[in-house]
Structure 1
Amino acid sequence: MNIPVVFLLVVLGCSQAEGVSKCELRDLVLTELQNLQDGGLSLDPKVVTTRIVCHAEKSSNFNTSAVTTQGSDGGSSSNRKKRNTMEDMLEIMESEGMRTTTVQPKKTVKATQKWTFYGIFQLGNLLVCTDEVSTDPEICNYNCNTLIDDDITNDIRCLTDIIRKLLKDGFNQGSRFMEMIRLIYDSECDGFVYSDYFQECQ
């Protein structure tokens, strides 16, 4: 194989990974969260935006076409670090200005089905979208392929639906819903401050 052909294959391979910038994602997410706040839900849009954009960076590196699967040990192919416990999440959410209707989180049962995570936010098929495994998602109800294109409108809308449901109904949710919240509230994103995390966006 000659060098021009190799170069062409490399270019084509790289072009398949679509993404958005950290600053662009910040602006889009912040706008949606401000709308939730204006709708009467208790949250600090800047703090929660920092959490969500950090989650996108750690889980997909802002790649809108990312697809990963959860292994049989419950770990994801993205090799995420130790997750927060439900009690940790409740404490963190309260410190970030989010108020839910449930004081204590329910114990959840580990899902027996394998998850596939789609898109920039790595939203799980068993909760939010339909594919060959998931045919009856609990929320959003998109085709999973719509979460891996370069239009992240559906991704953001679905994520804000998850947050809205959490703020309205608290931790009294099914195990699939709470597993998705655990992923969003990964310990890798604890302690980030809006002004520092988005310093390059000023």
Structure 2
Amino acid sequence: MFGAIVAGRLVQTNLQRIDDTHFVFTLERPYDINHLTVFLTGEMPFPDGYGATVHFAWPGGEYFLLGTLTNARPSAIYKVRGHLPPGVAPGTVANAPAQLGIEVATLGAVETAAQASAVQTGKGREVAQRVDVSLVAQKIVKNLFNYLHSFGGDVKLTPDTPIPLSVFQRWYDNFNRKITNDSGAAFLDRED
């Protein structure tokens, strides 16, 4: 009844039926996943008055709602990379697969879930609107500048001084480590 495709991979054929209303796909190499498509195969439509909610769970994590499927909207593409767990970088090797869950429910329940998800997404946008992105970018660039300047020593740094890419990679690794260890970018405020 359902199919799934992780972008860049073959169609998932490992659908497990948990019961009459719950289905699960196991997704290997979860931290390589950016987008995935979920669809009705056309083999059998939903019964009248029914649809499905589509959920995703990272290894060891809780399920979160991606969206919905109905006979009127039998397929959808979801971006999951934006939901990576804190401290996990894309491409991280996982000890377990992710789970893509599908729950068949009444259209009323499906619509209620979609509305609740929209409210949560709206809250995320409200937070983003309160954050001064240009100020955050300035602090990140200042952190990079200070890091690069620390290599100066007796050498006079000029705009034309060549800097090996490995130095940028070390800065990036350190920056990500600080964000993970500080549970955010609070260290950027301490540098002011």
Calculate the TM-score normalised by the size of structure 2.
0.21
- More strand by percentage: 2
Q: Which has the higher contact order (CA 8 A, sep 6+)?
A: 1
Which structure has the larger Rg? 2
Calculate the TM-score normalised by the size of structure 1.
0.20
